[in-house]
Amino acid sequence: MSPVTNGINGHDFTVESLADKILSRVESNDPFFSLEFFPPRTEQGAANLIGRFDRMRAGGPLFVDITWHPAGDPGSDKITSSTKIAGTVLNYCGLDTMLHMTCVKQTKETIKKNLEKTKNLGIRNILALRGGISPNADADESWGYQEGGFNYGVDLVRFIKQEYGDAFSICVAGYPNGHPDSTSYQDDLLHLKEKIDAGGQFIITQLFFTAEEFLTFVKDCREIGIDCPIIPGIFPIQTNRSLVQLTKLSKLSIPEEIQKVIEPIKDNDAAIRKYGIDLATDMCRTLLNSGKVHGLHMYTLNLETATIQILKNLGLWCQDVAKPLPWKTSANPERRENETVRPIFWCDRPKSYIHRTQGWDEFPNGRWGDSASPAFGELKDYHLFFLRSRTAKDKLRSLWGKELTSEADVWKVFKHFITGAVNENGVKVTETPWNDDGLSPETNVLSSTLSRYNELGVLTINSQPNVNAVPSTHPIYGWGDKGGYISQKAYLEFFINKHYAEALKTVLPKYHPRVNYHMINKCGTTDHTNADRSNPNAVTWGIFAGKEIIQPTVVDPVSFIVWKDEAFGLWHERWASLYEKGSKSREIINDIADNYYLVNLVDNDYPADSILWEVLDEMLAASQKVDMGKKSNGVCGENGTQKIEELQIH
């Protein structure tokens, strides 16, 4: 027997369900919001939507809600399917996710298959709907009544409960103005009660236009014994077209006072949006002040401006979302509860990391441990929609050089990225192939120093300064609970040419064991390190009240070999591919990938000033002396095979 048999690497963990989270926010009177999106129609639309999720994550939504789009093959693996988008939000964008699901006209087998897939993706929240509401539905048979089949939302609720017990939080729809197809408002309330009795745990309402309508609806629900949270669905008027479309769909009529305001400005989108924002803000304020409302469900229509403005007006948009860990966490329950350590290499490409580790059946918790054979999935497709740059190729060429004439042109791109300065095309270099989301705040701290080295061809792609016991609320280094302390070892990762690499090799022994290094070329024929290859080096850790040490970031020599392929591959896949085959520009980028070395350095002496700049200075000085003429080095071709480059004898 041992005290560690439970919990550490086991799968015993309890995840707070969305239904419980909502209850606890209601109880603690801590207002929240959620965001509804519909699946995109195109692959580029999907890529753009991912960017929107990432941006809207910053405001702290309690969850994101994805509608079921029957025409879009919603249960399929298509990039644009409802299920695929919901799974991506959850796993890659780190937001708790609810998926709509309809049941009418569907077989038990199809529904079961869809639920199974949903569950396997980690989604634990379903908005159970009847479906079949369509402006053209005018006869009973068109919504497909099946004897003994799925005819109402309640049938789906019952099926989910019966098949999955408490595995899913179940949400159901409420209609403050009655269901478009229902016989009466009272009937509709009774149907809602039935759905709650069958297992529905909270209600999101269809759109409405006045606070009074919603509050009356809540009162009526409470009177017939519906006790669960009821979240108002907020529809900010954004354009006249969408307003007309939606009211037609939901068979609602637009109140006169609204029609009066809109009519004169109906072709002025900006004016309508402003009106919509003000109207929704006022209504939401009334709702929140009523004491009956603790959360708002925003129908975003896949747009962000109006929704964010309303939430900011209400003070619900978080300025400072708590970061549980220094890297971007996934919201998949298995990962969220168990994963506490990652290699530093992917910190600016968290989606790639999640993608490459999605097959793991357990995640490093507490310590990275012995990673002698971490089974990273291969990254063959650098252009997966959730990894894709949302920037067009033309724009990327204006960032990274329309035409490259020398390696020095490339060095300048790195320098511009680090400094944020405008380049020769008059644009700011806001991204590189190695950064999903621009310059990290930590790199920013080092930018003036880094720019000096990048200018000289030390092409930095990842770095963090050393810190000793700064508060966990620190704006740059902070993460985790309040009242803790964060420490870090200085870290630097960069590409350098062979000439610098030879110089660096002569310099490094002087800094052993204070500085751990790892230096490798594309095909791995050169692979130097002074680290124990089976021992990861923790470079970020946090000390919290009443907890064990949390050490979320490690430099792991084994994973570095895996990352190396990806980091070198990005030169080819993301940068060289912007230029025509056979072009000089393309050749320059490919040559860099084939001939440069990827290096990482850790200064273990974290309470002292970082010594890594001194290492680089000595490397630069030594590079003046290294006679490259005396040796020939192994070089990797674009296809990864090794060729011998004959170097000219000086």
Q: Interface with its own copies by CB under 8 A: which residues?
A: 1-9, 12, 359-375, 468-469, 483, 485, 487, 489, 513-514, 516, 531-532, 535-538, 541, 543-549, 551, 554, 558-559, 602, 604-607
216: nearest Cα among 237, 198, 189: 189
Q: Please, what is the minimum distance in Å from the beta carbon of residue 545 to its own copies? A: 4
Q: Which is nearer to its own copies, 537 or 610 (CB)?
A: 537
Q: Please, what is the minimum distance in Å from the beta carbon of residue 18 to its own copies? A: 23
Spatial CB neighbours of 319, under 8 Å, sequence gap ≥ 6: none
Active-site pick, 36, 431, 442, 502:
36
Q: Please, what is the minimum distance in Å from the beta carbon of residue 487 to its own copies? A: 7
Give dist(CA 97, CA 53) in Å, integer: 11
**What are the distances in angstroms from CA 366 to CA 324, 342, 471?**
14, 10, 21
Paired strand residues for 553: 342, 540
Q: Please, what is the minimum distance in Å from the beta carbon of residue 283 to its own copies? A: 39
Q: What residue type is 224 in one-letter code?
A: I
65: nearest Cα among 123, 5, 133, 115: 123
Q: Which is nearer to its own copies, 143 or 360 (CB)?
A: 360
Q: Is 506:622 a contact under the CB 8 Å cutoff? A: yes
Q: Which is nearer to its own copies, 359 or 582 (CB)?
A: 359
Give dist(CA 48, CA 42) in Å, integer: 10
**What are the distances in angstroms from CA 634 to CA 349, 468, 558, 640?**
29, 41, 22, 12
Give dist(CA 568, CA 53) in Å, integer: 28
Q: Which is nearer to its own copies, 84 or 349 (CB)?
A: 349
Paired strand residues for 295: 32
Q: Which is nearer to its own copies, 220 or 334 (CB)?
A: 334
Q: Which is nearer to its own copies, 149 or 366 (CB)?
A: 366
Q: Which is nearer to its own copies, 234 or 602 (CB)?
A: 602
Q: Please, what is the minimum distance in Å from the beta carbon of residue 441 to its own copies? A: 22
Sheet arrangement for strand 295-299: 230-231, 202-205, 169-174, 125-129, 97-102, 63-66, 32-37, 295-299, 233-234
Q: What are phi and psi of 622, to 5 degrees?
A: -65, -30
Give 3-state DSSP helix, strand, coil % of the chain, rounded to 5.
40, 15, 45
Q: Is 207:299 a contact under the CB 8 Å cutoff? A: yes
Q: Please, what is the minimum distance in Å from the beta carbon of residue 373 to its own copies? A: 7
Question: Which pair of tokens denotes residue 54?
Answer: 């990432």
Q: Which is nearer to its own copies, 206 or 516 (CB)?
A: 516
Give dist(CA 125, CA 563) in Å, integer: 34
Q: Is 36 a catalytic residue?
A: yes
Q: Please, what is the minimum distance in Å from the beta carbon of residue 516 to its own copies? A: 5
Q: Please, what is the minimum distance in Å from the beta carbon of residue 110 to its own copies? A: 32
Dihedral in degrees, nearest 10, Cα atoms 458, 521, 398, 56: -90
The residues that are catalytic are 36
